Structure 1
């Protein structure tokens, strides 16, 4: 007779032991607490430190979060905090709660590209025109090739397209190729010269993967990354078409309300989906992170491909951090790379420390959240001990006075009427002493200390947000002129020039204020005059006057339409190209009609006697109307947006 049958107690204990051993995830079988994080936190205190930090922000900066930490091929910490859905009080589970990854998706694009580089099917320094139809190349402004390395470092030269990154309906989605070729933004910078973060360029890299591999990008991503890594709770498909079951486990996305608390966000879709449509769990993303740290990664056939991908591929200056084949470098020792993500309702971040085989994943269900997404990574990788900086003799430093002036972010839209929005957040740079700087933007102000020639590091500020805005800046100067201020990541800061200088902007503002005030008040004056004439029993007015007043009404409607376009550009994320171009077409009609009416008024006025005052009114309206029209043309209000 079997021993287990003769001793039911022993049999029971053995079965329990088997259950415990085989039900615990594989990564938990060999956990080590030896050593400490790059920031100096002992691994045996990891849970206490993360708990303390997260609990001080959960429910304030986000309703829910998932944090996973890996070492080598093991998950050494995995925990959910708060709620995936506030109303239902659904707890966050790092293994099952599905978050939107946002721009973390870009890391999967760069990995796909490097897989095809390893296979000899893509070359990083090849002109990308080789992958796309001729109609794509026709829209490029510069003859200089755009390479895959330019796309990875966000130096391909594209402005931000005025279209929203999101669409509320899956019915609006088209194939990746159709989306890219139908809504191509302008190339406004020479390749390899300016960092301007580009979702469009990233999606172009995804299309190149499609063309070379013969698979739709989401299929390639699934077949060559997600499935091989066992990321069974993730999908990069724009509608989750290959993983529809993930919808049931999806967290609700939120935005922080001004008065406090959180507001739920409606579901959205991403037409440029390789740039930010992926959704998945924190533990799935940790599997990707572990593959990036693995010596024999299942992502590549040769270890040197991984080492190359995570090594620096671009920087404006060797003294500042920048880009590693699409991954961003972090301010930490040893070398740390990763990528953050932010979409409607969700924010996330991940980082890998290859030398330590350390990985960190942080996902939240609130947009524009940084307390946790940046804070947790800083907590674990940034050394809190203030190291003494190398002193550079003052004689070797550059005079900071040459940098004084006003600057704008490179990553905006500059060829449509949306350009105006960029100048609402001008950055003021002032010299502080002989070698340092003070930066001011949107109510924030901080000091930058020059640590080496033309390299400035954050020194102090009354607002902690300032350091995240400008941790370090490199001033690129050519022929005694400032070319850019670069922090190496996301966007450069460019000096305002020529027709956008401060005196010019002040002149535009005065003219716009006069025109808007006149055309908004003039109809009221015309109405009062009409009522007074009616009271006196005289309703008729000379034809020249009637034509002039009709032109003024055109100016009023034009002003209202301009204000409508600007308000929509600021707050309406669902504005379509058709709606934008309708507004531009209306500007053309009103400007031509108003100008025609003014000319007809002059013609009629020549043939009517006793109208001494009308000449003055005609000249005044003509000058103001034409000046306003020229101002609008200068700011692209007559420029149709490409679709």
Structure 2
């Protein structure tokens, strides 16, 4: 074959290979399918519309993605885009590429619970303490029962445990019951009152499934959901113990670099595995979605069970979309529910439109990805043009001035020194005119317009991310006081008050700044004074002065250690409870040592001649340290983590 003949053929083959690499369809859109999506896209244009949208983001927001659309019990679109492995140039295949599902796993927990409810073995309104040992109940703060409905709506009242959701080694994994009892967070809200997203509570529901069924949760999941649906390329086992072959086709998870491009994420494990350890393919997840859409679902014996599961079970206000037995309600017409997932290196989302038997699955191999995981679902279920809103007379609206102030998110840690992190991202709310609001957080700002009494809807912002942050808010008012601002999903926004009010926070900040500056700079000043005294041949300092110097040095060590703990809490994902408690113990030792040295310095100073300046310095150090120690205690730096 001559060269001129080979080059065109070679070029053609390369172009075909590139097409295969960047777009691997298993099913094309069924062009014979009539009708259109809820957003108005004709089904015979489904592939063109999805391709156009995905191609503008693939390689930018994520290296790879798999998208599947179902109608009834049929897959009408299935396609892979980009790379599952950038280095090896492995194409994404929706039938074979294995992604981490993340919190999508929670939908399988709720399905398991509803199966047991249907079988008469569980009740949604039963106190969950009936399923667990007394050791669990002793750690609850409120006597009010926690029900399975509370867990499903994330209103069980738990704070986040400071321990990372992930662990780098399988050696750190224990049984689900042991993991839950050893890392039980504090219950800081009354059940049913505040939405605070909880992986712990979800895993607790998984343990309830274990106790009632007599099977481990991963076995129950496999035997009653995955295997019956033919999900043969999925596993909920925390180590893929029931499906080790899936490791051969796992996608590499990535994070987006600040300078652009992607960096691979290390492999991880999820100790609270029912909350987010599941892995599988996009087409397997589509089988689950189809089972939720068909009237004769193989998951349940009665059609009304799945209908009930996908209907609203909780909302803070009837005008706010919220929760359907653990599934989140999405902003669309007709009624749409689903669940997203995000873990290290992976993001995903799925949506179910029961009235149209439509299902959508989007999986990507990049963490915190939203351009596709949210964008594709919005593309298919949200109307392009907004329906005209019914205007409520201004006289019927509530004055927004009472909402002005600062807020924090409910879904944080508030009983350990990690509480401080929540206040690094305060949410500022200001009244705009008589009835509207301006909300600002972490550099984002937007306007929310009151559409009915105490219900505020996103109006405008310079940053498109703001609408995802606060699409709608309901202001719950009780006895003239703001209880919470709720968007109905994941986490509420709570007003700061009392010892965490803005005046108090300013006082804390001033005291902390003075103490940190003093204990960082004082050793330098003392060293310089010591060198000067040594050169001049001055007599050595008194015992009282040496004790005070030792106290200041120990105070410096304590200050540096506090800063280290905070930095570690912010950036170290692999710190253990043992390491955190060692830090707390060291705080105790250093704090007591500083106090004792200052006290001894006062005692010695009474019996030795000293200048007034030295006495004033000692008093100043004593007062400053006392305030600093009280500040540390107030922010839980002496509180051991259970």
> Which whole-Å CA distance do the structure 2 matches of 1:375 and 1:336 have between them?
15
1:346 corresponds to which residue?
Answer: 346
2:9 corresponds to which residue?
Answer: none
2:158–2:187 contact (8 Å) kept in structure 1: yes
> Which whole-Å CA distance do the structure 2 matches of 1:439 and 1:541 have between them?
57
Cα-to-partner distance string for 1:541-563 (whole Å, 9 max, x where unaligned): 10110000111011100000000
> Which whole-Å CA distance do the structure 1 matches of 2:435 and 2:416 have between them?
38
1:202 corresponds to which residue?
Answer: 202
> Which whole-Å CA distance do the structure 1 matches of 2:161 and 2:200 have between them?
8
> Which whole-Å CA distance do the structure 1 matches of 2:623 and 2:591 have between them?
13
Q: CA deviation at 1:613?
A: 2.1
> Which whole-Å CA distance do the structure 1 matches of 2:440 and 2:425 have between them?
10
2:544–2:605 contact (8 Å) kept in structure 1: yes
Q: CA deviation at 1:538?
A: 3.3
Using the size of structure 2 for normalisation, the TM-score is: 0.95
For structure 1, the 5+ residue unaligned runs are 1-24
1:149 corresponds to which residue?
Answer: 149
Q: Provide closer, same or farther for how the CA distance between residues 27 and 124 of structure 1 changes in structure 2, counting only shifts above 3 A.
A: farther
State yes or no: 1:586 paired with 2:586.
yes
Cα-to-partner distance string for 1:127-171 (whole Å, 9 max, x where unaligned): 000000000000000000000000000000000000000000000
1:555 corresponds to which residue?
Answer: 555
2:21 corresponds to which residue?
Answer: none
> Which whole-Å CA distance do the structure 1 matches of 2:598 and 2:618 have between them?
7
Q: Could you say what secondary structure the match of 2:312 adopts?
A: coil
Q: Provide closer, same or farther for how the CA distance between residues 249 and 26 of structure 1 changes in structure 2, counting only shifts above 3 A.
A: closer
2:571 corresponds to which residue?
Answer: 571
Q: Could you say what secondary structure the match of 1:349 adopts?
A: strand
2:4 corresponds to which residue?
Answer: none
Pairs aligned (count)? 618
1:263 corresponds to which residue?
Answer: 263
1:425–1:441 contact (8 Å) kept in structure 2: yes
State yes or no: 1:37 paired with 2:26.
no
Cα-to-partner distance string for 1:496-516 (whole Å, 9 max, x where unaligned): 010111111111111000000
> Which whole-Å CA distance do the structure 2 matches of 1:539 and 1:522 have between them?
21
> Which whole-Å CA distance do the structure 2 matches of 1:188 and 1:641 have between them?
15
1:235 corresponds to which residue?
Answer: 235
Q: Could you say what secondary structure the match of 2:356 adopts?
A: coil
1:30–1:74 contact (8 Å) kept in structure 2: no
2:30–2:76 contact (8 Å) kept in structure 1: no
Using the size of structure 1 for normalisation, the TM-score is: 0.95
Q: Could you say what secondary structure the match of 2:622 adopts?
A: helix
> Which whole-Å CA distance do the structure 2 matches of 1:326 and 1:515 have between them?
47
2:246 corresponds to which residue?
Answer: 246
1:14 corresponds to which residue?
Answer: none
Q: CA deviation at 1:530?
A: 1.3
1:425 corresponds to which residue?
Answer: 425
Q: Could you say what secondary structure the match of 1:355 adopts?
A: helix
Cα-to-partner distance string for 1:456-513 (whole Å, 9 max, x where unaligned): 0000000000000000000000000000000000000000010111111111111000
Q: CA deviation at 1:612?
A: 2.5
1:28–1:75 contact (8 Å) kept in structure 2: no
1:192 corresponds to which residue?
Answer: 192
1:400–1:436 contact (8 Å) kept in structure 2: yes
Q: Provide closer, same or farther for how the CA distance between residues 507 and 29 of structure 1 changes in structure 2, counting only shifts above 3 A.
A: closer
Matches within 5 A, 1:44-63: 44-63=44-63
1:167 corresponds to which residue?
Answer: 167
Cα-to-partner distance string for 1:90-132 (whole Å, 9 max, x where unaligned): 0000000000000000000000000000000000000000000
2:5 corresponds to which residue?
Answer: none
1:330–1:338 contact (8 Å) kept in structure 2: yes
Q: CA deviation at 1:540?
A: 1.5
Cα-to-partner distance string for 1:534-587 (whole Å, 9 max, x where unaligned): 212236110110000111011100000000000000000001001101111111
> Which whole-Å CA distance do the structure 1 matches of 2:159 and 2:635 have between them?
16
1:179–1:271 contact (8 Å) kept in structure 2: yes
Q: CA deviation at 1:387?
A: 1.2
2:16 corresponds to which residue?
Answer: none
Q: Provide closer, same or farther for how the CA distance between residues 610 and 418 of structure 1 changes in structure 2, counting only shifts above 3 A.
A: closer
2:29–2:43 contact (8 Å) kept in structure 1: no
Q: CA deviation at 1:384?
A: 1.0
2:488 corresponds to which residue?
Answer: 488
Q: Could you say what secondary structure the match of 1:438 adopts?
A: strand
Structural RMSD (CA): 1.2
Cα-to-partner distance string for 1:432-474 (whole Å, 9 max, x where unaligned): 0110000000100000000000000000000000000000000
1:629 corresponds to which residue?
Answer: 629
1:8 corresponds to which residue?
Answer: none
> Which whole-Å CA distance do the structure 1 matches of 2:97 and 2:130 have between them?
41
State yes or no: 1:475 paired with 2:475.
yes
> Which whole-Å CA distance do the structure 2 matches of 1:30 and 1:368 have between them?
31
Q: Could you say what secondary structure the match of 2:579 adopts?
A: helix
2:26–2:78 contact (8 Å) kept in structure 1: no
Matches within 5 A, 1:115-134: 115-134=115-134
Cα-to-partner distance string for 1:246-274 (whole Å, 9 max, x where unaligned): 00100000000001000000000000000
1:307 corresponds to which residue?
Answer: 307
